[in-house]
Amino acid sequence: KSKPKIVILGAGYGGMIVAARLQKSTVVKDAEVTLVNKHNYHYQTTWLHEPAAGTMHHDQTRMKIDDVIDTKKINFIKDSVVEIKRDEKKVVLKDSVLDYDYLVLGLGSIPETFGIPGVQEHAFSIRSVNSVRLIKEHIDYQFASYNKQDEKFDETLTFVVAGAGFTGIEFVGEMTDRIPELCEEYDIPRDKVRLISVEAAPTALPGFDEELVEYAMNVLESRGVEFMINTPIKEVRENSVVLNDDSEIKTNTIVWTTGVRGNPVVDNSGFDAMRGRIKVTDDLRSPENDDIFVIGDCALIINEETERPYPPTAQIAIQQAYTTANNLKALVEGKKELETFKPDIKGTVASLGGKEAIGVVGKRKIYGNSASVVKKMIDNHYLFLLGGMPLVIKKGKLKMF
């Protein structure tokens, strides 16, 4: 009898942890496990605001997949997923087609543009190593070209970040660290540079504790950030952003961080989904297909306390990966009872650049330098889960204080 085929799509937080767990279990003997990813490396999405601003080299956020995954136990295929043909139990990749018995869908998300004109064409996004390297190079170029201009254009040194949610605030925080360095490097007075955070909602960091939001805004304002709250963006143009009241901010640089939607493969494959996210069953399967597990940003789960979806996070993706690895093992062993997923939210910490952060751990609010240390510990903890101490030493944030 041939071995069942397990195919994992996406080597992000979810997919990598499923693969790492399976590799340590008997599943790799009893089944044929394949991991598919666009690149031959895994990157840490939650760190990307740092290389985007240029405060960290992008190589620190990525690692070769075969440095962490034993490709003698798990097949790795570098290719892009195009579509899942559920009726035929096949995955169409750009260069080939794969059969599966069990599928894990962990392809992450893409920026939500809300159909606002010009975002796709003119805004940058914090999504992948390639997308953040481009932001960094673009910002450096603005500084490098400024002194060469005979007539000084405001848009060259005006940086707009759309969305003051978690990602937007973390990026703005890094920029407040980077801008003084760039000013020094390129002989530009700090007061020539504008960094503007534009948010449509009535508050920055919606969903965060009010006191912490105020703390964060004070820290960032003291470092020169201009907040425009309650300010929807109507259009993005090549050299400006148009606000709802038709006023315009001249800028060559707009970074779009207004939330995400599930990977387009979800919609392309005809799944029943909300903004590209599949509302999964208690054991993390697609309600339409009991051979497909959906984890991370492609999955939608409801917080019973608030009756609203949990925001997509790495924390949840990692926990879902543990449950999914256990459930795959159970299925391969012929068991029918699967584990139910229950998120265990340990807290949330947002960095504000430098040695500042805010967050909630358990029920406790934390801020300042101690929150920044906690943030680095969280980042290192993930590396530990994935590759133990050797990976923490190789890729971790070791300068804590």
How far is it, in rounded angstroms, from Cα 152 to Cα 282? Answer: 58
Task: Based on the shown chain and the rule CB under 6 A, indicate whether residue 263 belongs to the binding site for ligand FAD.
Answer: yes
Stretch that binds ligand FAD, among 166-174, 195-203, 230-238, 286-294 (CB under 6 A): 166-174
Task: Based on the shown chain and the rule CB under 6 A, indicate whether residue 126 belongs to the binding site for ligand FAD.
Answer: yes
Of 89, 117, 108, 113, residue with least CA distance to 45: 108
Of 87, 73, 163, residue with least CA distance to 126: 163
Nearer to ligand FAD, 188 or 298 (CB): 298
Minimum distance of ligand FAD from residue 315's CB (angstroms): 4
Minimum distance of ligand FAD from residue 234's CB (angstroms): 24
Nearer to ligand FAD, 177 or 297 (CB): 297
DSSP string, 32-61: EEEEEESSSEEE-GGGTHHHHHTSS-GGGG
Q: Hey, which residues are catalytic here?
A: 170
How far is it, in rounded angstroms, from Cα 65 to Cα 45? Answer: 15
Q: How many CB atoms lie within 10 A of CB 151?
A: 4
DSSP character at residue 29: H
How far is it, in rounded angstroms, from Cα 234 to Cα 244? Answer: 5
Calculate the alpha carbon distances from 289 to 10, 90, 203, 270, 394 in Å: 19, 13, 40, 12, 40
- Which residues 6+ apart lie within 8 Å of 342 measured at CB? none
Task: Based on the shown chain and the rule CB under 6 A, indicate whether residue 11 belongs to the binding site for ligand FAD.
Answer: yes
Q: Which of 7, 13, 175, 284 binds ligand FAD (CB under 6 A)?
A: 13
How far is it, in rounded angstroms, from Cα 112 to Cα 126? Answer: 12
Task: Based on the shown chain and the rule CB under 6 A, indicate whether residue 296 belongs to the binding site for ligand FAD.
Answer: yes
Stretch that binds ligand FAD, among 30-38, 152-160, 186-194, 328-336 (CB under 6 A): 30-38
Calculate the alpha carbon distances from 7 to 81, 102, 128, 395 in Å: 12, 6, 22, 27
Residue 44-63 contact track with ligand FAD, rule CB under 6 A, x = bound? -xx-xx--------------
Task: Based on the shown chain and the rule CB under 6 A, indicate whether residue 80 belongs to the binding site for ligand FAD.
Answer: yes
How far is it, in rounded angstroms, from Cα 246 to Cα 158? Answer: 18
Task: Based on the shown chain and the rule CB under 6 A, indicate whether residue 167 belongs to the binding site for ligand FAD.
Answer: yes
Query: Is-contact 314 343, C-beta < 8 A?
Result: no
Nearer to ligand FAD, 118 or 296 (CB): 296
Minimum distance of ligand FAD from residue 337's CB (angstroms): 26
Minimum distance of ligand FAD from residue 265's CB (angstroms): 5
Minimum distance of ligand FAD from residue 14's CB (angstroms): 3
Task: Based on the shown chain and the rule CB under 6 A, indicate whether residue 297 belongs to the binding site for ligand FAD.
Answer: yes
Minimum distance of ligand FAD from residue 395's CB (angstroms): 15
AA identity, residue 252: N
Nearer to ligand FAD, 263 or 323 (CB): 263
Task: Based on the shown chain and the rule CB under 6 A, indicate whether residue 90 belongs to the binding site for ligand FAD.
Answer: no
Q: Interface residues with ligand FAD (CB under 6 A)?
A: 10-15, 36-39, 45-46, 48-49, 80-81, 106-108, 126, 128, 166-167, 170, 263, 265, 296-297, 312-315, 317
